[in-house]
Structures are given as structure tokens and as C-alpha cells.
Amino acid sequence: MPCRGNLFLARMPRPRSCRVLGCFALGACALVDCGDSGSSSLAASVSRPPLTVRRSGSVRVVTISHGTKLSVSVKRRVYPRDALVRAYFSMRNVSPHTLSVNSGNGVEVVTGQRRVVFPPALSTPGPTGGGLSVAYLRPGKRIGGSQLVILRAGYIIEAVSVGGNVRLGVPGVGVVTPALHLTLTAPDRPTFVLKTSPQVLADLQFARGFRGGRIEFTQFYQCGEPPHELQVGSSLYGSWTIASSLRFRPGCAHPVRWQLIAGAIDHSVVTLNYSK
């Protein structure tokens, strides 16, 4: 990821695994326009040092740069490794000018050396779907939303591109938050029990003491061989779906390949990799 200081070049579409907050959506996903009281007279070129904020038990990092106030937060500091967590992001225009905003990759999980380890959710190549999210943010206005991420490392950042338009090929100036440092404990991942006859399926099992919670999953599967193959799934961000049971099936009885990730919110996920 080309990153220097607070510079970030948006390069990928907005993920579909997100939830919008506020008034009305703009673009493909996760951008909303909300009235924020008052506006600032800060020029778009003014930058301020990053801030770390704790509110209502959550942890958050904030940066003010290029006329924007950008933040990302999660609800607590400590999680098990590989936990499926909902991260919240927000950006406010604190300049006197209307700004064009592209969400880029949105929330990313990185190592201490800033190597991105999420996204992708799945390693299997496949259709990614999604679309570009470009919004025009008036002075004093704010956009925000949330996104599911897998904590494969202990740092979270939020990045956007300001002042350009990726649809027209016009580059913007990247703004990225400082890394939000989380403490990761031992994973509490469940397990998959795979069955291949009379059809392929997987049962999700949790260890004793698990009190339950909403289960989310994302998957990719390939049915048949080229040129008559069918590939379904999202390999970039993962199209997260609420599970209706603890039994999972691909879209065909005997897939050539099947990759499945599932887990409860705020708990470790488990990954299944199957090939015929």
C-alpha cells in the first residue's frame, strides 16, 4: 500500500460487508450524509496531530488532515486473535469547501509494519462485486458507517481519498488515521466438522462455555470444471451473511472448491478449505 505519512491512494471498490449509519446512503455502500452542527473555517490544507479518544468504553483514533476529520473505532480494546469485529468509521468536512470523497478500501487490519492482512477475507480468487463510493461533502457535513473486519493483526486504520474522482481517473490526496492498537489474546475459535457423503457440508461446533451470539459467514465455491464451471462468492472483502443454523452447505452437492469462514461477532472465526 503506497503510504507516506497521511497519504493513501484509494485503489479498490468499497466493500459490501458494511452497514450505513445516519440519514441517506450515497454511492454503493457505507457513505451517508448527515447534518453536523456548525462548520469550521479550517483551510483544506491544514493538518493537526492524531488524537486517541475513549468514549463509552470504546476506543477510537482521530486525525485531522486536508480539511477532513477522520476516525475509526471499535467497542473495546481487547479481543481474541482472528475475532470478527465491527469497526465504525466517520469523516467530517472541517474545511470551508465542498470536498469529493472516495472511501477506497475503508477499514483495514495491518501489522505493526503496516502490512495489510485484511482485506481480503478469503484467499480463493473469485468475483468481488461491489462498486465505487464517491460522495461530495459540504462544509460541516459528516459521513460514517461500519464494516466487519477480521483481526488477523492488532492494528486497525481507516483510509479515504479526498479531492479526486476515481470514476474519472482523477487522483485524490490520501488521508489515513493513525493505527488503532488493540490487544489480542489467544483465539477462541470454533471448529468445522466436514462431511463429504452423500453431499458436502460442514457443521460448526463451539467449545463449552460459549454463550452464543450472532453467527456471520462468507464463502466461495466452484461447481464444475471449466468451461462449464460456476463460481460464487466474494474473495476481496467477503459478503457477510447472518447464518440461520450451524450447518453450512455450498451451492452444489459436490463442489470442486469450497472456502468458508464463519464465526460469532467479537469471537474468533474459523476457516474451511475444501477441494475435490
Could you tell me if 53 and 167 lie in one domain?
yes
Domain containing 166 — which CATH number? 2.70.50
Q: How sure is the predictor about 121, in pLDDT bands with cuts at 50, 70 and 90?
A: confident
Domain end point (choices 157, 185, 213)? 185
* pLDDT surpasses 50 at 4: no
Q: Model confidence at 6, in pLDDT bands (50, 70, 90)?
A: very low
Longest dimension (CA), the chain: 67
Instruction: Locate 217 and state its grid cell.
Output: 459467514
On whether both 164 and 223 belong to a single domain, the answer is no
Which burial class, exposed, middle or buried, applies to 21 when counting CB atoms under 10 A from its CB (0-12, 13-18, 19+)?
Answer: middle
Domain count for the chain: 2
The Cα–Cα gap between 82 and 154 comes to: 10
Q: How confident is the model at residue 106 (pLDDT cuts 50, 70, 90)?
A: confident
Give the domain-ending residue among 168, 185, 202: 185
Q: Are residues 87 and 158 in the same domain?
A: yes
Residue 267's CATH number = 2.60.40
Q: Both 100 and 218 in a single domain?
A: no
Residues 23 and 132 placed together within one structural domain of the fold: yes
Q: Mean pLDDT throughout 103-130?
A: 77
Instruction: Out of 99-108, 181-190, 246-255, pick the least confident.
Output: 99-108
Average pLDDT, integer, range 15-42:
35
Looking at this protein, which amino acid is placed at residue 22? G
Q: Is the peptide bond before 2 cis (omega within 30 degrees of 0)?
A: no
Closest-CA residue to 137 (of 101, 102, 163, 96): 101
Asked if 74 and 122 sit in the same domain, the reply is: yes
Looking at residue 227, what is its pLDDT? 65
Do 219 and 178 share a structural domain? Answer: no
Predicted pLDDT of residue 104: 67
Please give the model's pTM, rounded to 2 decimal places.
0.75
Tell me which residue of 100, 72, 108, 107 sits closest to 172, measured CA to CA: 100
Residue finishing a domain among 185, 201, 228: 185
Tell me the residue range of the domain where 252 lies.
191-275
Q: Are residues 83 and 195 in the same domain?
A: no
**Domain match, 135 and 14 both:** yes
| Confidence check: pLDDT of 126 > 70 | no
Q: Which has the higher per-residue pLDDT, 21 or 156? A: 156
27, 47: one domain: yes
Do 177 and 241 lie in one domain? The reply is no
